[in-house]
Amino acid sequence: MNFCSNCGARVSLRVPAGDTLPRHVCDACNTIHYQNPKMVVGGIAEWEDRILLCRRAIEPRHGLWTVPAGFMENGETTAQGAERETLEEANARVEIGPLFALYNIPHINQVYLLFRARLLDTNFSPGAETLEVRLVGEADVPWSEIAFATVRNTLTHYFNDQKRGEFRFHFGTIERPSRAPAAEPRP
Amino acid sequence: MNFCSNCGARVSLRVPAGDTLPRHVCDACNTIHYQNPKMVVGGIAEWEDRILLCRRAIEPRHGLWTVPAGFMENGETTAQGAERETLEEANARVEIGPLFALYNIPHINQVYLLFRARLLDTNFSPGAETLEVRLVGEADVPWSEIAFATVRNTLTHYFNDQKRGEFRFHFGTIERPSRAPAAEPRP
């Protein structure tokens, strides 16, 4: 951030009076520009004992598999966002169920919120950012080609819970990879 | 948003190619400025059968009661944010426990995430934004002086669960008040 989005003057990075962290502050109009983490919302769309996976048509992780998920938008709830993303990425209609997993990814300022969802029909198809959509059971999951750690962990918990016959809420944190250079990217 | 925070040119509000929603777009440097909901994180700090409430020293809702909570910051987890807010608002040290409640507030683009937390000692005191800190049991809750609907709902569920002897995760949405003009404000 270089310029004030309100008045167009240059901003400086400093700790405002009464605050504890450096912020981008406009010395012309006094606006403080806060930056906060974003939510990524998505769905684990279930059809009998299988779930919907999407193969990514966009970078990062082009060609790898994920569940439908994306940045939550203003004006919607977390569940509405998960429903919208499932429609956009897989042209799939779902009824959103309980929250299944929350993952903090502090090094990229994201929080993932993934819901269980009931797929309403099997007329799904790839959206603009998707190469391929598939219903998979545990034996068919392409584990070595999953796009993100959040999704890998979520699917592991999901199929464990499915075997146990009881789904519970999972909460965790994805740490920065210690050797890989690339951070968890835009979903 | 009037100006591009990257290059300082004027922005226009339009739907970018391949997108579905209007965004602030810079026609000079092509930056798309997304705006997304924010998370408010906080703790229900428990000491035996009582919990910590704070009386607000700031607007909005000056003088009304809340649990320690505030905007999540970049670089932290939801739980770390709840711990930090409890320290800032009540000078109280806690060990964060399970997520207790998630509230969507779509009309003000916020999601509340409130955790149960174990108060580590009773050496708490008002922080800069707090007039008074108090440990209260259910009978002592100032129900008519609770600052926000999220907090009122959370406390209701909390004491119901406490009576039942089993705490579970609560998920809900706070709709825009139909008659009151003021929206749920900055926490």
What pLDDT, on a 0 to 100 scale, did the predictor assign at position A69? 98
CB contact, 8 Å: B40 with chain A? no
What pLDDT, on a 0 to 100 scale, did the predictor assign at position B18? 85
Query: What residue of A is the nearest CA neighbor of B108?
Result: A75
For A7, counting Cβ atoms within 10 Å of its Cβ (0-12 exposed, 13-18 middle, 19+ buried), the class is middle
For residue A186, pLDDT beyond 70: no
CB contact, 8 Å: B123 with chain A? no
* DSSP-assigned letters across all residues of A90-126: H---EEEEEEEEEEEEGGGTEEEEEEEEEE--S----
For residue B63, pLDDT beyond 60: yes
Q: Mean pLDDT throughout B36-58?
A: 97
- pLDDT tens track for A116-150: 999 999 999 999 999 999 999 999 999 999 999 99
ipTM: 0.93
For residue B180, pLDDT beyond 60: no
> Residue B187 corresponds to which tokens in the numbers above?
């926490």
What pLDDT, on a 0 to 100 scale, did the predictor assign at position B141? 98
The mean pLDDT value of chain A amounts to 95
- Do the Cβ atoms of A5 and A33 come closer than 8 Å? yes
Please report, rounded to a whole number, the percentage of residues in chain B having pLDDT higher than 70. 95
Q: Sorting pLDDT into bands at 50, 70 and 90, what band is B88?
A: very high
* DSSP-assigned letters across all residues of B112-174: EEEEEEEE--S-----TTEEEEEEE-GGG--GGGBS-HHHHHHHHHHHHHHHHT----EEEEP
CB contact, 8 Å: A73 with chain B? yes
What pLDDT, on a 0 to 100 scale, did the predictor assign at position B92? 98
- Do the Cβ atoms of B70 and B88 come closer than 8 Å? yes
Local structure of B71: helix, strand or coil: strand
Q: Which of A28-32, A42-46, A179-183, B108-112 has the lowest mean pLDDT?
A: A179-183
Which has more confidence, A58 or B180?
A58
Neighbours of B32 (CB within 10 A): 12
Q: Mean pLDDT throughout B102-115?
A: 98
Contacts of A104 in chain B (CB under 8 A): 77-79
Q: Which of A121-130, A175-184, B132-141 has the lowest mean pLDDT?
A: A175-184
Q: Sorting pLDDT into bands at 50, 70 and 90, what band is B183?
A: low
- pLDDT tens track for A47-73: 999 999 999 999 999 999 999 999 999
What pLDDT, on a 0 to 100 scale, did the predictor assign at position A18? 85
Contacts of A98 in chain B (CB under 8 A): 171
